[in-house]
Amino acid sequence: MSSNDLNFSLFYYYLRHGNVKNITRVTVSANTDVDDCKRAILQDLHLDHRSSPAFADLYMIPQDKPVPVNEVESALGRLSIAVLGPVPLPINALLRSILALQPKEDCVHLVLVDRGIPLTVRFWIPSTGHQFNVDVRENDDEVSLLPAIKKDIPTSMDQANLVFYKTSYRNPEELNDTTEGQLLPNLNKLFTAFDDTPFSELPCVIVRQQGRKHHLSWDPVERAIKQRKLHDKAPSVMGVPEYLSLQINSTERLFDYRRRVDDSRELPEKDLPPIEVLFDGFGKFLEIWRAAYSSGFEAKPATVEMRKNVDVFADTMSCAYLDEGAIHLEGLDKLNTIFRSTGPRDSITPGDIPGASVASQTPRIDGLSCYNGIPSIIVEFKNESAGSTAMPIVELAGYYSRIVQYLARTRAAVVRGSRLPTLGITIVGPTITFFGLAYVGSVVYVPLTTSFWCLPVEYGGSDRHQLYIAFNAASVLLASIEQEARRLTDGPPPAPLQRPFYPQLSRLARYPDPGSSIDLQIVDTIQKNLYWNVYAASSSSSGDLVIKLTYSYSHDLHAFCTDLDHAPKLLAFERLPGGVFAIAMERLKGKTLDSISSISAELRDKWTHDLRAIVEKIHKKGYVHGDLRPPNIFCVDDCIMLLDFDWGGKVGEARYPHARLHPQLTTGRDMSNLEITKDDDNRVLRNTLKYLQEIVQASGSLPF
């Protein structure tokens, strides 16, 4: 019998992602080509009506490495296209030319990969909690994926700057029980295809915002040493051109929220929280400053001695000096007198940058005070602004940066273990401004006060009163900075900060029992704007959390809605220095209503009923919510949850923060009165229920 007359009985392995078929035997002639062999296998599987051979690829297991049928699960359990090929057998090749030897009995010879059925990929956006499925092909890349998922991406994310990471899972429960923090270290970026996804698993794509999370891996010591531009040029000659050059360099950039007019890139400091939660001493300063500035009342007023010393300082700075050196000496002397009136501390003196090797090339700092080498105050004087090319705050930041670099080279544990909070003061002619300085891998500087005059020219002396408040707040801040410096130098080396870019939070007072606390670690930014920051966090005691930082919050309304089973469980609530409220709540898996494009009429009816009932109960209890728009309604399976209790509260007490709000909140109401009423809730709710009706119609379901 010639080889042309042989019939081969071959074991084949049929594969489709997430659905690995049993091994089956097919009998074909030696003269059968690959295309006909695929047809025979599809017929054997009763799939010929659904899958064309053109959508199936045939691969051969090397005959010198046979896989016994009874060992196929262990041998091929992690099989993927990348392992098999990547090039399938040519369709016109004859089996007798492929199988050089007689196929070994009881071994798998062929693998058929069915590409005719779309590959279902789970997309997961950890920053928002969104999960959704999309049918793709194995060779789809991130460019071809974006149009397919565009409608499911929340509007808060910049679709032009998304990055995709791929992983895989065996069942949805496995994915649901995994946190992003566990996955990220093992993920690969998705550039092309899912060919390396094992057939025994389903692919998952994690979607993140590009360019926003690189700071998670920053080593502050390494970055401090690399930041050369501020150190190669004397800070005293850092004018506008030099500053603008710094700001387009991602490594050298000063974090001050300013951008060049021709630079549209996202600011890396966008994820920074308010400075009052980077270091609680800044919060204490702002607590004093804001309370007294808004009400004119000082909860803990400056002493009579401090007020007298501030008057002397202000009168001295009001003089016109011909010699800039003279204003330095006079100003430092008066500043030292002010700060010593609140307790003993090291003097502020002119000085060289620590560790500089060539004294003649060393820029001198106008005023510096340190505790065991850790900076506490830096002062920069300018006689008058018009005669100077340098920018005082940039010059001050340059000196601070050089000190940080010196510490990075000589005391790395200090730089890794602290944000090195420092009080900065610029005095330009008769004006003074207070700044907060910190280091998070780049220099952060934020004005803690406005600039105000030392001259007694304003009617009623309000500027002088503001000076009293500012110096009183500064003395409290200095006490906190000195306490931090003692922590860094008087004991064992500090432990490295896990997330210097994130708020100084490791625990919060438990709700409703503030006598105990929950531990937490912030792992990602979910959302941020001028009024609040939202973070993803993990807790050894409470699991995955959402942490919100905001300047107003009704924890009573939140807790009431939780009791109704229509809000995430409130786990912790604490007022931080600076008037920031920190809220920890359970992290739910679902979608906000505005990200849902279609629902059934039955679900529409249920959610309509639930929303009306929730709002009725809120109003009956004497509360108002204030913002019942779709983005603040979270859908978990078929259950409705309310979010964002920032503006809500008791009827007659709750108020909108200002008149510039979303049109859905302002349309139909008089914005000269910012009190939130039940009518406001009902009006916004009607618009939300209209949206529910629209997405039912979009789904093709009958509206009634």
What pLDDT, on a 0 to 100 scale, did the predictor assign at position 431? 92
pLDDT in tens, 389-441: 678 888 899 899 999 999 999 999 999 999 999 999 999 989 999 999 999 98
Of the two residues 199 and 661, the one the predictor is more confident about is: 661
pLDDT computed for residue 36 by the predictor: 84
Mean pLDDT of the chain: 80
Q: Stretch 428-455: mean pLDDT, rounded?
A: 92
Rounded-to-integer distance, Cα 377 and Cα 511, Å = 38
Residue of 340 and 140 predicted with greater confidence: 340
103-107 mean pLDDT: 78
Contacts 24+ apart (CB under 8 A), 512-519: 512/559, 514/573, 514/574, 517/572, 518/542, 518/571, 518/572, 518/584
Non-local CB neighbours of 546 within 8 Å, separated by 6+ positions: 526, 534, 535, 536, 537, 568, 584, 585, 586, 587
Q: At 111, is the pLDDT very low, low, confident or very high (cuts 50, 70, 90)?
A: confident
pLDDT given for residue 566 in this prediction: 97
**Residue 207 backbone dihedrals phi, psi, to 5 degrees:** -105, 125
Radius of gyration of the CA atoms of the chain, in A:
33
Contacts of 162 by beta carbon, 8 Å cutoff, 6+ apart: 142, 146, 153, 207, 208, 209, 210
Specify the higher pLDDT residue, 419 or 538.
Answer: 419
Chain Cα centroid distance, residue 689: 31
* pLDDT of amino acid 190: 47
- SS3 of residue 659 by DSSP: coil
- Tell me how crowded residue 27 is: count the other CB atoms within 10 A of its CB: 11
Alpha carbons 335 and 338: distance in angstroms, whole number: 5
Nearest alpha-carbon partner for 13 in 48, 54, 59, 51 = 59
Nearest to 488 by CA among 413, 379, 435: 413
pLDDT(480) > 70: yes
Identify whether the C-beta of residue 452 lies closer than 8 Å to the C-beta of residue 465.
Answer: no
Range 43-52 average pLDDT: 66
Q: In terms of pLDDT, which residue wins out, 550 or 174?
A: 550
Residue 704 has pLDDT above 50, yes or no: no
The position carrying tokens 């900065």 is 424
pLDDT at 603: 92
Gap between the Cα atoms of 51 and 61, Å rounded = 23
Instruction: Give the mean model confidence (pLDDT) for residues 317-334.
Output: 84
Q: Output the pLDDT for position 151.
A: 72
Q: What is the rounded CA–CA span in Å between residue 239 and residue 213?
A: 31
pLDDT of residue 331: 92
Taking residues 349-366, what's their average pLDDT? 66
Work out the number of other CB atoms within 10 angstroms of the CB of residue 332: 21
* Whether residue 656 has pLDDT greater than 80: yes
Domains of the chain: 3-114 (3.10.20.90), 119-214 (3.10.20.90), 220-262+275-489 (no CATH), 507-586 (3.30.200.20), 591-698 (1.10.510.10)
* Confidence at 196, pLDDT banded by 50, 70, 90: low
- What is the tens place of the pLDDT at every residue in 148-195? 777 777 765 666 567 777 777 766 666 655 555 455 444 444 444 566
Task: Pull the structure tokens for residue 517.
Answer: 């606390």
Question: Which of 144-148, 321-325, 371-375, 396-400 comes out lowest in average pLDDT?
Answer: 144-148
Q: How confident is the model at residue 12 (pLDDT cuts 50, 70, 90)?
A: confident
Indicate if the pLDDT at residue 80 is higher than 50.
Answer: yes
Greater pLDDT, 387 or 364: 364
Chain position carrying tokens 């909860």: 299
Distance CA 282, CA 436 (A): 7
Can you tell me whether residue 79 is helix, strand or coil? coil
What pLDDT does residue 137 have? 62
Nearest alpha carbon to residue 270 among 535, 528, 546, 551: 528
* Crossing angle between the packed helical segments 462-489 and 324-340, to the nearest 10 degrees: 70
At residue 75, φ and ψ (nearest 5 deg) are -80, -35
**Does the pLDDT value for residue 296 go beyond 70?**
no
pLDDT exceeds cutoff 50 at 701: no
3-state secondary structure 92-149: CCEHHHHCCCCCCCCEEEEEEEECCCCEEEEEEECCCCEEEEEEECCCCEHHHHHHHH
Ramachandran area for residue 106 (φ above 0: left; ψ -120 to 50: alpha; else beta): left
Confidence check: pLDDT of 385 > 70: no
Q: Strand ranges (DSSP E) for 334-439?
A: 349-352, 364-371, 374-382, 422-428, 431-439
Give the span between the Cα atoms of 683 and 627, in whole angstroms: 10
Check if the beta carbon of residue 452 is closer than 8 Å to that of residue 467: yes
Whole-angstrom distance, CA of residue 511 vs CA of residue 178:
26
Token pair of 540 as six digits: 């050894």
Q: And the tokens for 409?
A: 């080279």
Angle between helices 462-489 and 280-295 (to 10 degrees): 170
**pLDDT category of residue 83 using cuts at 50, 70 and 90:** low
Q: What is the mean pLDDT of residues 505-517?
A: 93
What's the pLDDT at 357? 46
Q: Which residues pair with 239 in a beta bridge?
A: none
| Percent of the chain topping pLDDT 90 | 36
Q: Which residue has the higher pLDDT, 128 or 297?
A: 128
282 pLDDT band, cuts 50/70/90, is: very high
The stretch 559-569 carries a mean pLDDT of 97
pTM of the model: 0.68
Tens-place pLDDT, residues 621-636: 999 999 999 999 999 9
Reply yes or no on whether the pLDDT at 492 is more than 70.
Answer: yes
